Amino acid sequence: MIHEAVEYIRKSLAQAKNPSILVSFGKDSLVLLTLARQVLPNIPIFYFGDKLSKFAESIIIENDLQVYSYAPADRYLVPNGDGYSLIDEYSFGQTRVPLISDLKPSEKCELEKLSTVRTPLFNWNSDLTLWGYRAEDSHPLMKATFPQRVEVGATMMDAPLYNWSEQDIFNAIEELRIPYEPEVNEVEVCSQCLEEINDSIDREASLAAFQAKYQFSH
């Protein structure tokens, strides 16, 4: 599968004038980054998040990578079952894409440490953006699956690992000897903050508004 993915990436990049790659430094994006750099070693790399983990920083240093990032356009909470999810909306020009992180009850609290910096509009110049999305990826808040190639604003989001399984990813990590640490996609929140959130959010209205805003189709 690795050879087929590299060839897919090669053909996809050949059609682009200004490609880039979006990484989270989780297992899927690390495999994609490794394969993409076999084709285009200096492909521009973007990361969405307030702060890189120590593991991500070590990957960047060891591979002499240059990684670009910018703040979300908006950030808010949405009910998710009995709990909540944090939504970070990132600007791709006039189009926004939501990144979802679930809140995890904890004695610690990370909400107050989150950055308040915002980038309402970012001119995404890439005509092609590779990302590590797979057809198996899902979240309860997103009731649809992205296609392998989907237009987001002025860029074409392309997922070379789209048909890979979780086991395919781990096999590639082992074969390519890619350093890997489990990705934590949760935000710890204390009981006091959870109580304040419960008192301030209209669960039904906020969930309906989010789902109406992001209606992706198969």
- Number of compact structural domains in the chain: 1
Q: What is the pLDDT of residues 113-132, one digit of tens each?
A: 899 999 999 999 999 999 99
Nearest CA among 200, 79, 88 for reference residue 140? 79
Position 111 in a domain: yes
Sequence-distant (≥ 6) Cβ neighbours of residue 14 within 8 angstroms? none
Domain at 57, CATH number: 3.40.50
d(CA 91, CA 182): 27
Q: Does residue 50 contact residue 101 with C-beta atoms inside 8 Å?
A: no
> Rounded CA gap, 164 and 1, in Å?
8
What tens digit of pLDDT does each residue of 140-181 get? Answer: 887 677 899 999 999 999 999 999 999 999 999 999 999 989
The mean pLDDT value for 176-190 works out to 91
Helices (H), the chain: 2-14, 27-39, 54-62, 166-176, 191-200, 203-213
- b (16+ CB within 10 A) / e for 127-158: ebbbbbbbeeeeeebeeebbebeeebbebbbb
Confirm whether 59 is domain-assigned: yes
Tokens in use for 22? Answer: 């979006």
Per-residue model confidence as pLDDT tens digits over 204-216: 999 989 988 886 4
| Pairwise CA distance, residues 34 & 178, whole Å | 8
User: Which residue is listed with tokens 């070693």?
Assistant: 41
**Residue 25: pLDDT band with limits 50, 70, 90:** very high
**What stretches of 108-157 show up as alpha helix (H) in DSSP?**
none
Residues 157, 146 contacting (CB under 8 angstroms): yes
Residue 218 domain-assigned? no
Domain extent at residue 79:
2-213
Across the range 24-48, mean pLDDT stands at 97
Give, to the nearest 10 degrees, the angle between helix 2-14 and helix 27-39: 60
| pTM score | 0.92
Instruction: Specify whether the CB–CB gap between 6 and 35 falls below 8 A.
Output: yes
Q: What is the pLDDT of residues 5-23, one digit of tens each?
A: 999 999 999 999 999 999 9
Q: Are strands 45-47 and 19-23 parallel, antiparallel or unpaired?
A: parallel
Q: Which pair of structure tokens corresponds to residue 93?
A: 């020009």
